[in-house]
Structures are given as C-alpha cells and as structure tokens.
Amino acid sequence: MQANRVATAIDAYDPPGARVIDSPITIGLSKDTSITPFTSQNLFVGNPHCLMAALQEDEIPIIPSFGYTVDTCSRKPVGADEAILALIRHLSGLQFLGHEVAEDLRNTELLKAAEVYRLIILDPLGGIPANNRATERHLFLNLEQEFEEVKDHLTTASTTGSIGTELRKANAQHLKNAELAKNALSLLPPTSSVVVTTPQEAAKERGPAEMDWALVGTRRGQNPLIHNLLTDKPVQSSSLPTERFKTITSLSGAPQIGSLTTLAKRGMPLTMIPDPRVAPWRPPQPGERGLSLTDPCIDLPRLVNLIEDSFGRKLDIDHYLKRVEGNLAGVIIAGEYEGGALLTWEKPWGLTGAEADDPARLVPYLDKFAVLRKSQGAGGVADIVFNAMVRTCFPSGVCWRSRKDNPVNKWYFERSRGTVKFKDINWTMFWTTPKLEEQRFRDYESVCRGVEPSWADKKQQLD
C-alpha cells in the first residue's frame, strides 16, 4: 500500500515520524451538484479523532484517498484534491458552512482545529507552466491577477490536437494543481501560500556544480521547499531579467532555466490604466486627449498617499500634476493602492525641428515606483508591479533614476539590464531595454538628468 511506503520513508528519519490513519473523510448524501471550495462534492471530515490525535503527538498523518458513505459506512475512493479541500475546511473551522446537516454532525466542528499556513503539492511535473517566461514556469503566481490567464492557457493546451497525448495530459494535471491552489487559498488567510514542486527538488540539496553563482541577491543552492517554508518567497525572484538566470542541467538531464517550483498566493488584483492588453501604450498623438491623474478612473488622494507613504516625503501635488499633464503614459495599481507605478513619456533635452516632434524619440520613463511601507518586503507587491511594467506595459524597455544612496538600489540593480552612476550628480540611472543603442542611451541620460523633482520640501539637494 502506497500510504505505508510513504510512512516507512518518513520514519527512516528523526522521530516522531508518520502514522497511516483510517480516512476521516465522510461522503454525504446531498444532491446539491454545485461545487465550490466550500462544498466540494459533499465531502467532510466526519471522524477527526485519529487525525487530531496524530497532529497532537507531532506525527505526520498519512491519509489514503478514500472515504466512508454517511448512510452505510461503505468505503469508496474520493478525489485527492477534493479530500484536501475537505481537510482544509475542517482544520479552518469552515466545515458545514451553509450546509443543511444533522445537528450532531454540525456540532462536531464549529471551531478552527489548526492553523494552516502552507499547502505543498508534490508533482513530478513541477510548477505551473508559463508561456511568457524564460523559466517556462511561474516562479511566483499571483492568483487574483493571473489565474484566468493560466486557466485559459492550460485549458487550450490540454485540449488542442496539435500536441501529443502525454503533453495534453500534463497540461490538464497542471490545471488541476492551479485550481487546487486557488480553491485552497480561498479557504485560508491571505498570508497562506501554496508550493508546487517536484519530489526531486523537494528532497535534493543542490551541489556546487548546480549553484547559480551569477545570480545577484538570491539564495544560492537553496532547497526550494525549505526556502519557501522559511521565507514564504520564491527561491528566485519572478521579476529578475533572463540574464540573471543560469541554464543548469535538471534532474532529468534536460537544460533548465531557474527553478521548477511555483509559489502561489491569493495575491491581489492588478489594474493597468490604460489597459495595455486592449491597446499597447503609445506616445501621445496630436489632438488626442491623454490620460490625466485627475481622471475618475484614478483615486488621486489614495495615489498621493501611496507615494508619500513609500517615499516618506510630501508631494507638491499641483507641481506634479502640471509636470505629468499631457505626457502621462499610464498608471499601474496593485490591490487597494498597496503598490503602484507612474510612467511618463519624456522628451530628451535639446531636440529641435523634426526631431522635437518625433514620437520615436520620446523616452518611456518610470517616474514613481511606490509600495506602502506596511507592504514592503512581503506579499510580492513590488514584483507584481515591476513585472506588469516590464512584461506588459513597456516590454521593449523603460528607464528610471534613483538617488545613489537609496537602499532600494540593490533591488533595482538585480532587475535592470544596465545602470550608470552619474559622477556630477547624485543620481543612478537604470534601464531594462535590451541591447541599448548609443542614441537611445543618450536620450535616457538626458531625461534622467533633466526631470524636475516635485517634492513639497523643495530639498532638491537630497536628490
């Protein structure tokens, strides 16, 4: 029996080990065909005693994927994913929520039995695929923003006739894993997460030959499962450029870029104004009304609060509105204004004649990049905003500047494709543009030198 094999393998390590328990899953009689994370296939934990006894003794309970019918106590197989959701509902105190069940059953679990912080899915296929990543995997999956895109991609990939049967089956399994992650996290606190990885990656500590020493600011040679458990972050940041990933030989012998592990969180919605998925961001056209920060689609007071909280400085709002009026490229907002970016089109200094009217000479510029202080370093807010900027809004490249003594510069260095420290002023310039040509570089430099600050304290010497 597979459950006994797993328990024996765990027992080979330090005590207290594992225990195979009789399934606590009960199969109800409800005829309700609606399936949600709260009611999935009418499964619930009817006999939690062995489960809770194992947990209280610090043992790992091994639960076979079958259940007992509530009327005849017949043993029947159940889907592993649905059983997991039933266990989460029980442990989280959500069992029988909205159900009409016998009073004695309802009274069995009304309180939270345990805190569930992490769900780990071990699958030989590894993390959730991404068709627009160099790693071919989602290192970090923001389900609130990206689930529908993942679902559409994997649904198509699992049903199309242009690929082999095995690949279609693999994509269908990836979709099941993504749906399990989404459903599980809908039952858990926002701080919980799901790790999807391979058994090999979870068990293996990388040796020196596999360590990516070129990676800037990432943990080298980390076991992805241990890293995720300790930090609640991906082994490698999802917003690093392709050049930061070294191709290594995977455990199957095939070349691999980055980790096969996906860290999924409920995350937060992402708003891009205007929506580049409808029409790409482009420089303002003659006679065309551009975006304004006073438009109804933007909550200006909350945006100002985000900027001031992140920078720790008061914004000269009137000056700033005048500065970006007519050249605002777009705004990116994460969640309820927990993070965001303001991007503009800037004209290099000194252009005359036809060059001054050439939209191709306008520079895409990251004017403000902000994350609320309470959200900094947690939840992947900065990565979510940065990824939207470089992958969706300005995939051909963008530039920005930062004070030389800004502690965030290390983070910027890791994610830029190039950087220059100006010798005569207190600015460092960054860009994400691949293969930056000399003329474009000079345009970037002109803009980064010339943009006028809009802080209310007027302490430009700090800049």
Q: Which of 84, 116, 148 is the last residue of a domain?
A: 116
Same domain, 44 and 68: yes
Convert the pLDDT of each residue in 403-431 to its tens digit: 999 999 999 999 999 999 999 999 999 99
**pLDDT(95) > 60:** yes
Nearest to 373 by CA among 276, 457, 307, 444: 307
Question: How many other CB atoms sit within 10 Å of the CB of residue 144?
Answer: 19
Identify the band that residue 102 occupies on the pLDDT scale cut at 50, 70 and 90.
Answer: very low
Identify the band that residue 461 occupies on the pLDDT scale cut at 50, 70 and 90.
Answer: very low
pLDDT the model gives residue 113: 80
Question: How many other CB atoms sit within 10 Å of the CB of residue 453?
Answer: 16
Report the range of poorest mean pLDDT among 63-67, 91-95, 376-380. Answer: 376-380
Same domain, 442 and 299: yes
Same domain, 286 and 375: yes
Contacts of 86 (CB under 8 A, 6+ apart): 25, 40, 43, 44, 45, 95
Structure tokens that stand for 86 in this block: 């039933």
Compute the distance between CA of residue 48 and CA of residue 262 in angstroms, rounded to an integer: 31
DSSP-derived 3-state class of residue 45 = strand
Query: Which domain covers residue 398, as residue numbers?
Result: 270-462
Q: Which of 68, 89, 116 is the last residue of a domain?
A: 116
Same domain, 296 and 427: yes
Q: List, in sequence order, the alpha helices (H) in 57-135.
A: 80-91, 103-106
Same domain, 241 and 328: no
Q: Which of 198, 230, 265 is the last residue of a domain?
A: 265
Same domain, 69 and 182: no
Same domain, 322 and 256: no
pLDDT the model gives residue 385: 97
Compute the distance between CA of residue 99 and CA of residue 209 in angstroms, rounded to an integer: 55
**pLDDT(257) > 80:** no
Compute the distance between CA of residue 199 and CA of residue 226 in angstroms, rounded to an integer: 13
Convert the pLDDT of each residue in 290-313 to its tens digit: 899 999 999 999 999 999 999 999
Same domain, 221 and 346: no
Same domain, 147 and 6: no
Same domain, 68 and 152: no
Same domain, 102 and 143: no
Residues 342, 324 contacting (CB under 8 angstroms): yes
Count of structural domains within the chain = 3
pTM, two decimals, is: 0.85
Q: List the CATH number of the domain containing 397.
A: 3.40.630.30
Structure tokens that stand for 44 in this block: 């619930």
Q: Residues in the chain, how many? A: 463
Residues 142, 270 contacting (CB under 8 angstroms): yes
Structure tokens that stand for 323 in this block: 């500065």
Same domain, 221 and 150: yes
